[in-house]
């Protein structure tokens, strides 16, 4: 199982604030996994399931999917916002190299050296080949 999963409230539930989300998560309510790469997309998950499967963090989308709270395995809210970072990447490659394949197969890691802060997830959402 992955270290983290993205979920949404099940059975038509939704929330307006983090307090409501945490009450239901810690109360063992079901959520739906919305995480295609995990291989578990569409399955139900609750806090106990996440702990049993070894999931360290759960990203819970709420307020009609407009907001996210990341919850640790102990059910405590860890952050209040997601940060978008633009990164410039220069790749040297041969003329026959498919840059799309390079980006899709690339490993990368962002690390925080700030005490009390940990980068727990990152992904490439979009890219553009400029030259």
> What are the backbone angles phi and psi of residue 91, rounded to the nearest 5°?
-115, 125
pLDDT in tens, 9-52: 999 999 999 889 999 999 999 999 998 888 889 999 999 999 88
Model-wide pTM > 0.85 = no
Across the beta sheet with 4-9, what order do the strands follow? 44-45, 31-33, 4-9, 57-62, 67-72, 77-79
Pick from 2-6, 83-87, 109-113: least confident: 83-87
Burial 16-53 (b: 16+ CB within 10 A, else e): eebeebbebbeeeeebbbbbeeeebeeeebbbebbeee
State the pLDDT at residue 11.
97
Q: Sorting pLDDT into bands at 50, 70 and 90, what band is 55? A: confident
State the pLDDT at residue 80.
44
State the average pLDDT for the chain.
83
pLDDT in tens, 63-79: 998 888 888 765 555 44
Does the pLDDT at position 56 exceed 60? yes
DSSP letter for each residue of 51-105: HHHT--EEEEEETTTTEEEEEETTS-EEES--------------TT--HHHHHHH
3-state secondary structure at position 24: helix
């Amino acid at each position: 199982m992955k270290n983290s999963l993205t979920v949404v409230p099940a059975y038509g539930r939704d929330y307006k604030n983090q307090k409501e989300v945490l009450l239901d998560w810690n109360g063992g309510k079901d959520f739906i996994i919305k995480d295609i790469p995990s291989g578990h997309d569409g399955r139900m998950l609750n806090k106990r399931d996440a702990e049993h499967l070894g999931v360290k963090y759960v990203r819970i989308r709420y307020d009609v999917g407009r907001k996210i709270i990341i919850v640790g395995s102990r059910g405590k809210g860890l952050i209040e916002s997601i940060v978008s970072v633009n990164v410039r990447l220069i790749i040297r490659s041969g003329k026959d190299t498919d840059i799309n394949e390079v980006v899709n197969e690339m490993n990368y890691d962002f690390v925080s050296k700030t005490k009390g802060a940990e980068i727990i997830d990152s992904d490439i959402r979009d890219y553009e080949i400029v030259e």
